[in-house]
Amino acid sequence: MLKRICLASVLLIVYCLLRPLWSGTDYPVASYADVPLLDHYDLIVAGAEPEGIAAAISGARNGLKTLLVDVRPEVGGLMTRGWLSNIDMNYGPNKEILNKGIFLEFYEGVGGDAFDPAVASQVFNSLIAKEKNLQVFLNAADIQPLAVNNTLTGLSILTQKGEAREIKAQRVIDATRDADIAAAAGVPYSLGFSDCGRPGEYMATTLVFRLKGVSSLDWMKLVLNLKLSKEPNNGVKNQSAWGFSQIMKRYQPTDNRLMVRGLNICRLKDDWVLVNALLILGMDPLDYNSRKEGRILAEKEIPLLTKYISKNIPGLLSVVPDATAPELYIRQSRNIYGLYRLSINDVLENKDFKDRIAMGSYPVDIQATSQSFRGDVIGKPKLYSVPFRCLVPKEVNNLLVVGRSASFDSLASGSTRVIPVGMATGQAAGAAAALSIEKGLPFNEMSGDLNVIHELQKRLNAQGMKLCSFSYEIPCENHWAYPGLRFVRKWGMASGGYTNNYRLDEAMSVMSFINTLSRVTGTRIPAGVMIYPASEKLTLANASQVICCFKNLNVAKPEALQYLKLAGFWEPDLLKHIQNEGKISKGAGYMIILRYADWPGQTSMNQGGQN
Ranges of each domain in the chain: 40-196+333-462, 204-324, 483-598
Question: Which residues partner with 150 through β-bridges?
Answer: none
Average pLDDT value for residue range 560-584: 90
For the chain, give the longest Cα–Cα distance: 80
More confident residue, 22 or 410: 410
Listed residue (243, 239, 309, 312) closest to 86, CA to CA: 239
Confidence band, pLDDT 50/70/90 cuts, at residue 6 = low
Which band of pLDDT confidence, cut at 50, 70 and 90, is reported for residue 21? very low
- CB-based burial label for 29 (10 Å; 0-12, 13-18, 19+): exposed
User: What's the residue count for the chain?
Assistant: 611
What digits encode the pLDDT tens for the residues 47-88? 999 999 999 999 999 999 999 999 999 999 999 999 999 999
CB 103 within 8 A of CB 424: yes
Confidence of residue 605 (pLDDT cuts 50, 70, 90): very low
What are the tens digits of pLDDT across the range 116-139? 999 999 999 999 999 999 999 999
- For residues 474-487, give the mean pLDDT: 96
How far apart, in whole angstroms, are the C-alpha atoms of residue 266 and residue 119? 13
Question: Would you place residue 31 in the very low, low, confident or very high pLDDT band (cuts 50, 70, 90)?
Answer: low
Taking the C-alpha atoms of residue 52 and residue 70, their distance in angstroms, rounded to an integer, is 10
Arithmetic mean of pLDDT, 266-285: 94
Q: At what angle do helices 510-521 and 482-489 cross, to 10 degrees?
A: 60
More confident residue, 100 or 535: 100
pLDDT band, very low/low/confident/very high, at 34 (cuts 50, 70, 90): low
Q: In this predicted model, which residue has the larger pLDDT, 30 or 40?
A: 40
Q: Is the torsion defined by CA of 374, 258, 284, 426 positive or negative?
A: negative
**How confident is the prediction for the chain on average, in pLDDT?**
91
Amino acid occupying residue 67: L
Residue 534: pLDDT band (50, 70, 90) is confident
Residue-level pLDDT at 2: 46
For the residues of 485-553, what is the DSSP string, one character each?
HHHHHTTT----GGGT---TTSBPBHHHHHHHHHHHHT-PPPTTSPP--TTPBP-HHHHHHHHHHHTT-
Per-residue pLDDT, 16: 43
In 268-319, DSSP assigns E strands to: 272-280
Phi-psi region of 488 (alpha: psi -120 to 50; beta: other; left: phi over 0): alpha
Cβ contact 110:120 at 8 Å: yes
Provide the percentage of residues in the chain whose pLDDT is more than 70.
Answer: 93
8 Å CB contact between 128 and 83: no
3-state secondary structure of 257: coil
Report the C-alpha gap between 47 and 28 in whole angstroms: 22
Assess contact for 398 and 137: CB atoms under 8 A.
no
Contact 354, 450 (CB under 8 A): yes
Residues 6+ apart with CB under 8 A from 244: 226, 231, 234, 262, 263, 313
Backbone angles phi, psi at 366, to 5 degrees: -100, 115
* Cα four-point dihedral sign 499, 505, 511, 515: positive
Check residue 15 and give its pLDDT: 46
- What are residue 376's DSSP bridge partners? 366
Name the DSSP class of 204: P
Is pLDDT of 330 > 50?
Answer: yes
Cα separation of 597 and 607, whole Å?
12
Superfamily for the 40-196+333-462 domain: FAD/NAD(P)-binding domain (3.50.50.60)
Range 336-358 average pLDDT = 98
pLDDT at 284: 97
With a cut of 60, say whether residue 233 has pLDDT above it. Answer: yes
**What is the model's pLDDT at position 280?**
98
Per-residue model confidence (pLDDT) at position 28 = 46
- In this prediction, residues 490-513 reach a mean pLDDT of 95
What's the rounded Cα separation, in Å, for the pair 42 and 67? 8
Determine what percent of the chain is predicted with pLDDT higher than 90: 81
Query: Got the DSSP string for 319-365?
Result: -EEEEE-SS-B----EEE-BSS-B-HHHHHTT---TTEEEEE----E
